[in-house]
């Protein structure tokens, strides 16, 4: 192969989007290096509640296609939950119309039906069995899968995407793209959650109040994640005690047993939201190829595999000529 087609790729960004993209590329025979400013356990992906559901992402039609492809992958991974961190869990998505969901996911979501009043007394909703991903397990598993495919992960800070010394560079930097790609359209939507001891909740629940306040409960092994918030253009990574109290209060209104649960941890993540996901090629002046792959908002985990496959296609040598 010539220098453009020698198969070498540098993926900049080590969250779930970067790792999934690197895995797909490596398993297709490419030589892949991931450059990440911090280990996956300290990325925004590590904070994700990680219920499979296309949320806070545009364009929604493409997002749903990516999500359904990712669903196929997660259903396979759920056969080994201890290793992959992926489980299929029943729950209720509040303030959601069954016909709307059937319009894009008919026949694809196990157990999809209208929620009963006993299951969700706060309003109308749908019940389904969806992938719920334990990111504390899943991110290290992704990294190990990449290693087995011959890829590597290197912790390094990148100030210019042109630093990447490979014929193909994939930009999976999320909010970092504001600077690295000079793209001020990508902005943070701050999410805060509270981790508590699980008092016995074994189903997930998402609820949105008339005033827009959100509450969710996601049971993970050994703990329960309570959320959440969606604060536009908020950059603070520090948990706000008043917000945390509101989260617990809203969740306890839905599941009273949560009220006295011991708090284990507070978490904050900044979702990289953009008017729409940027997934496109940019030829560099020196003849190399840059693939932009960021702006997945609150659905990075949900769309990771479908998006990664499309990004990997853009990063092929045949796609390098605009």
Binding site residues, as ranges? 44-45, 158, 173, 216, 271, 297-302
Token representation of residue 300: 């990075």
Cα(21)–Cα(261) distance, rounded to whole angstroms? 38
Give which of 16, 12, 19 is closest to 36, Cα–Cα: 12
| Cβ contact 136:264 at 8 Å | no
Half-sphere exposure of 173 (CA within 13 A, CB side): 27
Compute CA distances 72 → 107, 124, 142, whole Å: 13, 27, 16
CA triplet 289, 46, 237: central angle to 5 degrees? 95
Q: What is the DSSP letter of 279?
A: E
Is-cis flag, bond preceding 104, omega within 30?
A: no
Give which of 188, 191, 157 is closest to 13, Cα–Cα: 157
What dihedral angle (degrees, nearest 10) is formed by the CA atoms of 60, 61, 66, 67? 60
CA triplet 91, 93, 99: central angle to 5 degrees? 115
Give which of 214, 205, 209 is closest to 255, Cα–Cα: 205
CA triplet 285, 290, 295: central angle to 5 degrees? 135
Residues tagged in the binding site annotation for D-dopa: 216, 271, 298
User: Using only C-alpha atoms, what is the Rg of the chain?
Assistant: 20
* Tokens 């603070």 belong to residue: 236
3-state secondary structure of 147: helix
Token representation of residue 180: 């690295």
Residues tagged in the binding site annotation for FAD: 44-45, 158, 173, 297-302
């Amino acid at each position: 192969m010539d220098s453009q087609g020698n198969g070498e790729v540098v993926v900049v960004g080590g969250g779930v989007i970067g790792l999934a993209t690197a895995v797909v590329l490596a398993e297709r025979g490419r030589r892949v290096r991931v450059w990440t400013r911090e280990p996956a356990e300290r990325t925004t992906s590590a904070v994700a509640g990680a219920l499979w559901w296309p949320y806070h992402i545009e364009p929604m039609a493409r997002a749903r296609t990516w999500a359904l492809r990712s669903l196929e992958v997660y259903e396979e991974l759920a056969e080994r939950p201890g290793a992959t961190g992926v489980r299929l869990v029943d729950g209720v998505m509040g303030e959601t119309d069954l016909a709307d969901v059937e319009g894009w996911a008919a026949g694809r979501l196990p157990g999809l039906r209208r929620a009963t009043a006993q299951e969700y007394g706060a309003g109308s909703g749908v019940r389904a069995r969806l992938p719920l991903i334990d990111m504390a397990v899943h991110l290290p598993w992704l990294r190990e899968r990449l290693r087995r495919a011959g890829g590597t992960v290197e912790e390094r800070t990148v100030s210019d995407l042109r630093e990447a010394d490979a014929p193909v560079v994939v930009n999976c930097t999320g909010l970092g793209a504001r600077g690295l790609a000079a793209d001020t359209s990508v902005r943070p939507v701050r999410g805060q959650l509270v981790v508590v001891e699980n008092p016995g909740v074994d189903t997930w629940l998402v609820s949105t109040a008339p005033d827009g306040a959100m509450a969710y409960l996601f049971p993970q092994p050994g703990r329960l994640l309570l959320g959440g918030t969606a604060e536009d253009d908020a950059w603070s990574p520090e948990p706000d005690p008043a917000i945390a109290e509101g989260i617990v209060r809203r969740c306890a209104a839905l599941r009273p047993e949560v009220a006295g649960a011991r708090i284990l941890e507070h978490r904050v993540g900044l979702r990289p939201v953009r008017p729409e996901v940027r997934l496109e090629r940019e030829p560099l002046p020196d003849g190399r190829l840059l693939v932009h792959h960021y702006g997945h908002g609150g659905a990075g985990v949900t769309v990771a595999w479908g998006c990664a496959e499309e990004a990997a296609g853009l990063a092929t040598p045949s796609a390098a000529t605009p």
